[in-house]
Chain A
Amino acid sequence: MSSCLQTDLAGIRMRTPIMVASGTFGFGEEFFGFTDFTDLGAIVVKGMTREPRRGNSGRRMAETPSGMLNCIGLQNPGVEVFLQEILPRIKQLDTPIIVNINGNVQEDYAYLAEVLNESGVDALEVNISCPNTRHGCMAFGVIPETAAAVTAEVKKRTRLPVIVKLSPNVTDIAEIAKAVEAAGADAVSLINTLVGMAIDIQTWQPVLGNVVGGLSGPAVKPVALRMVWQTAQAVKIPVVGMGGISTADDAVEFMLAGASAIAVGTANFINPRTVNEIAAGLRAYLAQRELSQVGELVGKIRTGV
């Protein structure tokens, strides 16, 4: 297979720039038999917390035009079960594993960074942007000072590359990106979901049990693309672009806007082979444009022409 898609992201050596967004690919195992993992740059596992979490009660999903709202609330088995039971299985896959870490308080992030440091995972994604938890998480990601403090704390506890996942629910995402870069982040990933809601006009009640939830899918793509473009201009560290990506054309747009790698999210739910279709499409696109390496697209948007 040609190496035109090989990507180095903050020291993570990936076969392709195509990642999966946390929470949309489980721990990878559910996609065995569907997805050809050789096209996958890295697996970003479901958001992990210190203790197991049941997630939110009530209805957790609502479909909206070209998108979906979710309010899962970080349901996960906890880091101990991940390390003892899940990681040994998925390490066999020969695909870099990135663990998305979450906390109610700064100490939770520090704890997770420390226990994962020597575990054999390849990088950490620091989630300071989950909109569905009552405490912590997104609260850290909407203020530059707290975003920087969590980043610095995690960096102190790990030698692994640290990717900070940013919230779009802010006035100026580039300002947050600059703050976490200054605090030592090795990369940023964006966007997490946009806070939205839906109301049942028969019952006059919110559709979601949590009233509000995170919007994802093709509906958010133009917003995500704009934020990736703004962020890529503001920082020197690599940017992982995500938000409604479901085709190779979408991936090319994000890379032209400045993303060094991209992640597929909601599209995994509809087509478990999306990663493979994007990889094939990117190879064809590079061949057609007579480019030898996918990295040649990064940030090449032509503005002011």
Chain B
Amino acid sequence: MKNSTKYIEQALILENRSLATGVYQLVVKSPQISAACSPGQFVMVKVADSSDPLLRRPLSIAGADPDQASLTLIYRVVGKGTERMEQLQPGSFVNVMGPLGRGFDLSPQRLLLVGGGMGLAPLLFAAERCCPQPVEVLAGGRTEKEMFWNELFQNRCEQLHITTDDGSLGFCGTCADLLPQMLAGARFDGVLTCGPRPMMKRVAAIAAQAGLRTQVSLEEHMACGLGVCLTCTCSATDGGTRQVCKDGPVFWAEEVDWS
């Protein structure tokens, strides 16, 4: 798991377009961060040069193209910060700090990427970087309307399996419901997962039963992203604590105290 040099960039906005209701794709010009980042890492974005909203917003990296010096972030509008972000126009700037934290270990030969909802954003970047290694993606959402990911994962993975809670697209159920039959063929040697905590816990448990190790990407409220504010502390199975921002956000599932 990689930990790299960090940068602060005043990044030109190239694109900020809606992918679905309340979900946006922000592409910024970010020469240093786009070149330094790896899948699973995140950035802290200051959306406005004002004290309200005060703090930077943590966003996982959904893609990076060092040749174009571009960095892609996918976000859902959930509060004051992302409401401001939604208003940002191409040609203006946002302040981006990163890349932060430890990302995924992509060395296993055959990875299965399991994502729920916005948790699919960092997995998009992982799928892109795995290429030409073949990866399969198991993507879950509540309804068909949330599954705009379908298009984004095209050309980035060998096979895409979709689940929706209401059965409006693909398998009816959650990712974790479909997972056992996917692992039955023993064609994978590692699992990456990002999404709601209960989903990741179940995914890791099912994968462990199949003899596979899982890397999980955790989410927590955080102020600094650098490991100093200590607001994003989580419990580890060794009895100690970890900072999601600095020791993670990607952890081996067995490191995490899920209780």
Residue positions of A touching B, CB distance < 8 A: 23-26, 30-31, 33-34, 46, 54-55, 59-63, 65-68, 70, 72, 75, 217-218, 246, 266, 268-273
Contacts and interface: CB of A to CB of B under 8 A. Distances in A.
B54 A218 contact: yes
Nearest to B239: A54
B246 A30 contact: yes
B94 interface: no
Contacts of A272: 8, 97, 226
A16 B229 CA distance: 24
Contacts of A75: 230, 233, 241
Contacts of A218: 51, 54
Given A55-B233, A61-B229, A269 B246 contact: no
Contact of B54 (A26, A59, A66): A66
B221 A59 contact: yes
Given A55-B233, A217-B51, A217-B54, A61 B241 contact: no
A24 B224 CA distance: 9
A284 B112 CA distance: 56
A24 B230 CA distance: 9
Contacts, number: 87
B221 A268 contact: no
A59 B46 CA distance: 22
B228 A268 contact: yes
Given A266-B54, A270-B56, A61 B223 contact: yes
23 contacts: A24-B228, A24-B229, A26-B226, A26-B227, A30-B226, A33-B6, A55-B241, A60-B230, A61-B222, A61-B229, A63-B55, A63-B80, A63-B223, A66-B54, A67-B54, A68-B54, A70-B231, A75-B230, A217-B51, A218-B54, A246-B51, A269-B56, A269-B224
Interface centre among B221, B230, B246 (most CB of A within 10 A): B230
Given A30-B246, A63-B54, A270-B54, A70 B229 contact: yes
B34 to A, nearest CB: 18
B227 A30 contact: yes
Contacts of B6: 33-34
A60 B5 contact: no
A23 B226 CA distance: 12
A54 B233 CA distance: 9
Contacts of A70: 223, 229, 231
Contacts of A62: 221
Interface string B8-25: 100000000000000000
Given A24-B228, A266-B223, 4 more contacts: A30-B246, A55-B241, A72-B231, A268-B224
Nearest to A73: B230
By Cβ-Cβ distance, the 10 closest A-B pairs, closest first, are A26-B228, A61-B231, A269-B224, A66-B51, A60-B231, A218-B51, A269-B223, A30-B226, A66-B52, A30-B227
Interface string B199-227: 00000000000000000000001111011
Contacts of A271: 8
A268 B46 CA distance: 13
B54 A25 contact: no
A270 B229 CA distance: 11
A55 B232 CA distance: 11
B167 interface: no
B221 A60 contact: yes
Nearest to B226: A30
Contacts of B31: none
Contact of A54 (B5, B221, B241): B241
Nearest to A244: B51
B211 to A, nearest CB: 33
A61 B226 CA distance: 15
B117 interface: no
Contacts of B232: 60
Contacts of B80: 63
B196 interface: no
B41 to A, nearest CB: 16
B173 interface: no
Interface string B39-77: 000000010000111111000000000000000000000
A270 B222 CA distance: 11
A55 B242 CA distance: 12
A271 B223 CA distance: 11
Nearest to A52: B240
Contacts of B246: 30
A59 B229 CA distance: 13
Interface centre among B54, B221, B235 (most CB of A within 10 A): B54
Contacts of B56: 269-270
Contact of B55 (A26, A33, A246, A270): A270
